[in-house]
């Protein structure tokens, strides 16, 4: 019989870092009970090893915490996780209902009940684990960002039940019992990362003077590898560098939203991307903010450092040495890897093992201890997440906290790429990439104005000035359709971005071949304020264009605020019920892009009604018909929070 692991395994799937925060908190609480723990990301864990585990805790996000995403696109963790090789492995039919027999598990999900599929990943994972024969220790926990205390409100009681449940089935996990707690001071230990400072005279001078793209690519890749502690792979380094050549407003200046059309050209190697692909951009941080952070932390920006994870598995060591042993300037490391003035610090920053331990002023220590207590959790959530306090702001609020750089590397949120649907056709615009960027801005509960890091930076760029932008290309969720496939496109707001590329591609294809009809449903608030790409759509809907009725297509715009009663894309779809049904009967594919809140589900309901009405079949048959369309790869949704 296979020996079971003696450690409690915690697996997390995260997009913004919240699930990692929760996983690490569960791990710390387990360690305080003298329980041996192993924590891993799902994309670093071989799912085929699951049957050998004794007990596994899963922490999975669906849409993060509903924090305002930067520009379009904190891409849904739901999508990322369901496409994760780990989850795809679990979905294999040949695993059988006894594959995980003898394995105990618990699931905690992070979601936002304001979104369409609240905690969908946690629910789906919980059911699949049960179907494979695993035994739940306790009922799944579902954290909700809509709660005044955020996901913590559900996490605290769930963890309390977890320790009791684990103690009943695995008392040997807790040698002293589930209520015994090791004093926090004994667990402070060392940070995860070790920072080594190098004598500047021994550092190759090319590190501070080289400007070629190969060097810049290597430098970004090296910095990101140092900060993540992961095995080197090509995606750490940018695929290419772009320069902006056009920056045009798409909304009226007086409108509350600022949406821009941005065009870029390759300045390094040209990447052959496909229609529907996604572009990831590494945003540039404010130099003043980076300098303020370095000064606040009493660091030398000109010093050269290497950063190593303290615990590196032996088989990774050889692979990592080459990537991580080349020193990098401290200021460069901070600006490329540490989000000091945009993201909220992780909750761990406020706990006793970090800020409290390093605070010297008594009143600051007391306030931090209150934040770390169950009584202060609501206030911490309001202070930190809801107000989107940045690391720099928190350090300025607690000036006596003098934290070593090793701890800062661990506790400051990583600077993340921002993802955008590409809004150009490579056939129509060779050697260029176009984006449709909504400049994110919002007001916090305490009336503080906040702006998205990446969108604000991108729209501030002047096409006349050369700025090299590091980018990565990824497959999107909207596969490029062949010219012969009829299309029904639904893309309100910036959801129209990928469909601009679709229409341009079909227009280019129509010069040399016959193309199938295309129906496009667009929506915005006002015809005169935010009718994105108005001239483009109208030109293609006339004179035998791609969207013209003469070609079997059509363009239909819904302006929600131009009349007393709101009109959305689903209303326009119902008006064109017969045309939609006719195209579906011809084998059309449906593509939906835009906000994940209510739009995708409202569109699905409208389609169910249309199919039921036009076919004369009951609603249940229409639902099954649409499901078969999804399975056949003819119903695609790219939605973002």
Return the pLDDT at 206. 44
Residue 447 placed within a domain: no
In this structure, the answer to whether residues 178 and 248 fall within a common structural domain is no
- Asked whether 121 and 60 are in contact (CB, 8 A), the reply is yes
Return the pLDDT at 37. 86
In this structure, the answer to whether residues 19 and 92 fall within a common structural domain is yes
- Domain CATH for 97: 3.40.50.360
User: Mean pLDDT, to the nearest integer, of 591-611?
Assistant: 90
C-alpha 427/C-alpha 429 separation (Å) is: 6
| DSSP letters spanning 335-350 | HHHB--SSSPPPGGGG
Q: Residues within the annotated binding site? A: 14-19, 61-64, 145, 388, 418-421, 452-455, 494, 560-561, 566-570, 602, 640
Residue 550 placed within a domain: yes
Q: What is the pLDDT of residues 476-488, one digit of tens each?
A: 889 999 999 999 9
Return the pLDDT at 246. 97
In this structure, the answer to whether residues 336 and 389 fall within a common structural domain is yes
- Those residues whose C-beta lies under 8 Å from the C-beta of residue 342, and which sit 6 or more positions away, are 70, 285, 390, 452, 453
User: Mean pLDDT, to the nearest integer, of 398-409?
Assistant: 90
Residue 339 placed within a domain: yes
Residue 450 placed within a domain: no
Q: Which of 182, 209, 243 is the last residue of a domain?
A: 182
C-alpha 269/C-alpha 214 separation (Å) is: 10
Residue 389 placed within a domain: yes
Q: Which of 411, 436, 469 is the last residue of a domain?
A: 411
User: Mean pLDDT, to the nearest integer, of 381-400?
Assistant: 90
Q: Residues within the annotated binding site for NADP(+)? A: 494, 560-561, 566-570, 602
Q: Residues within the annotated binding site for FMN? A: 14-19, 61-64, 145
User: Mean pLDDT, to the nearest integer, of 146-158?
Assistant: 83
In this structure, the answer to whether residues 156 and 278 fall within a common structural domain is no
C-alpha 452/C-alpha 433 separation (Å) is: 21
Q: Residues within the annotated binding site for FAD? A: 388, 418-421, 452-455, 640
pTM: 0.84
Please tell me the total count of domains within the chain: 3
Residue 458 placed within a domain: no
Specify the DSSP element, H or E, that contains 154.
helix 152-169
Tokens coding 86: 């780990």
In this structure, the answer to whether residues 243 and 385 fall within a common structural domain is yes
Tokens coding 17: 């870092």
Q: What is the pLDDT of residues 103-142, one digit of tens each?
A: 999 999 988 776 667 888 889 889 989 988 999 999 999 9
Strand extents, DSSP E, 440-585: 441-443, 449-451, 469-474, 487-490, 518-524, 554-559
Confidence of residue 314 (pLDDT cuts 50, 70, 90): very low
- Domain CATH for 570: 3.40.50.80
Phi, psi of 534 (to 5 degrees): -50, -50
Q: Which of 370, 387, 411 is the last residue of a domain?
A: 411
In this structure, the answer to whether residues 219 and 160 fall within a common structural domain is no
In this structure, the answer to whether residues 241 and 322 fall within a common structural domain is yes
Return the pLDDT at 640. 76
In this structure, the answer to whether residues 14 and 116 fall within a common structural domain is yes
pLDDT at 161 over 80: yes
Q: Which domain holds residue 93?
A: 8-182
Which comes out higher in pLDDT, residue 617 or 356?
617
In this structure, the answer to whether residues 161 and 203 fall within a common structural domain is no
């Amino acid at each position: 019989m296979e020996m079971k692991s003696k450690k409690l395994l915690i697996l997390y799937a995260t997009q913004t870092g919240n699930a990692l925060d929760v996983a690490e908190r569960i791990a710390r609480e387990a360690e305080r009970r003298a329980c041996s723990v192993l924590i891993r990301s799902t994309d670093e864990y071989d799912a085929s090893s699951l049957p050998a585990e004794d007990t596994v805790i899963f922490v999975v996000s669906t849409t993060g915490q509903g924090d305002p995403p930067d520009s379009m696109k904190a891409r849904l963790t739901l999508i990322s996780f369901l496409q994760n090789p780990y989850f795809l492995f679990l979905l294999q039919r040949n695993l059988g209902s006894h594959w995980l027999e003898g394995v105990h598990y618990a699931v905690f999900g992070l979601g936002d009940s304001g979104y369409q599929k609240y905690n969908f990943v946690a629910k789906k994972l919980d059911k699949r684990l049960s179907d494979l024969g695993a035994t739940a220790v306790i009922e799944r926990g579902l954290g909700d960002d809509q709660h005044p205390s955020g996901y913590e409100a559900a996490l605290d009681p769930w963890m309390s039940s977890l320790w009791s449940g684990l103690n009943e089935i695995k008392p040997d996990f807790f040698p002293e019992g589930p209520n015994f707690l090791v004093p926090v001071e004994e667990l402070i230990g060392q940070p995860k990362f070790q920072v080594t400072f190098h004598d500047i005279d021994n550092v190759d001078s090319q590190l501070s003077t080289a400007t070629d793209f190969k060097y810049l690519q290597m430098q970004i890749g090296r910095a990101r590898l140092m900060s993540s502690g992961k095995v080197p792979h090509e995606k750490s380094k940018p695929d290419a560098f772009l320069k902006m050549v056009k920056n045009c407003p798409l909304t009226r200046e007086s409108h509350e939203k600022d949406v821009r059309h941005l065009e870029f050209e390759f300045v390094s190697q040209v990447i052959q991307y496909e229609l529907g692909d996604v572009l990831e951009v590494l945003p540039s941080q404010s130099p003043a903010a980076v300098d303020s952070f370095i000064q606040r932390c009493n660091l030398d920006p000109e010093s050269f450092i290497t950063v190593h994870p303290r615990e590196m598995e032996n088989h990774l060591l050889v692979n990592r040495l080459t990537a991580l042993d080349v020193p990098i300037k401290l200021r460069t490391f901070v600006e490329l890897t540490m989000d000091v003035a945009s993201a909220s610090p992780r909750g761990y920053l406020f706990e006793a093992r970090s800020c409290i331990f390093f605070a010297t002023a008594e009143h600051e220590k007391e306030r931090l201890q209150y934040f770390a207590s169950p009584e202060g959790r609501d206030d911490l959530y309001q202070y930190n997440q809801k107000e989107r306090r940045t690391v720099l702001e928190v350090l300025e609020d607690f000036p006596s906290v003098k934290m070593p750089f090793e701890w800062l590397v661990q506790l400051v949120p990583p600077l993340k790429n921002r993802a955008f649907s590409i809004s150009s056709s490579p056939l129509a615009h060779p050697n260029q990439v176009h984006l449709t960027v909504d400049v994110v801005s919002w007001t916090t509960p305490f009336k503080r104005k906040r702006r998205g890091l990446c969108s604000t930076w991108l729209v501030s760029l002047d096409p006349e000035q050369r700025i090299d932008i590091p980018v990565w290309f990824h497959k999107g969720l909207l596969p490029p359709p062949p010219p012969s496939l009829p299309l029904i496109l639904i893309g309100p707001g910036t959801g129209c971005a990928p469909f601009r590329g679709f229409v341009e591609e079909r227009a280019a294809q129509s010069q040399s071949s016959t193309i199938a009809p295309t129906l496009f449903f667009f929506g915005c608030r006002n015809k005169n304020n935010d009718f994105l790409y108005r001239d483009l759509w109208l030109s293609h809907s006339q004179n035998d264009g791609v969207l013209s009725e003469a070609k079997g297509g059509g363009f239909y715009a819904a302006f929600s605020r131009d009349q007393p009663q709101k009109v959305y894309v689903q209303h326009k779809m119902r008006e064109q019920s017969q045309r939609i049904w006719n195209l579906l009967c011809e084998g059309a594919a449906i593509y939906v892009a835009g906000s994940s809140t209510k739009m995708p589900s409202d569109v699905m309901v409208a389609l169910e009604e249309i199919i039921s009405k036009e076919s004369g079949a009951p609603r249940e048959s229409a639902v099954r018909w649409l499901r078969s369309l999804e399975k056949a790869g003819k119903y695609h949704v790219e939605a973002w929070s």
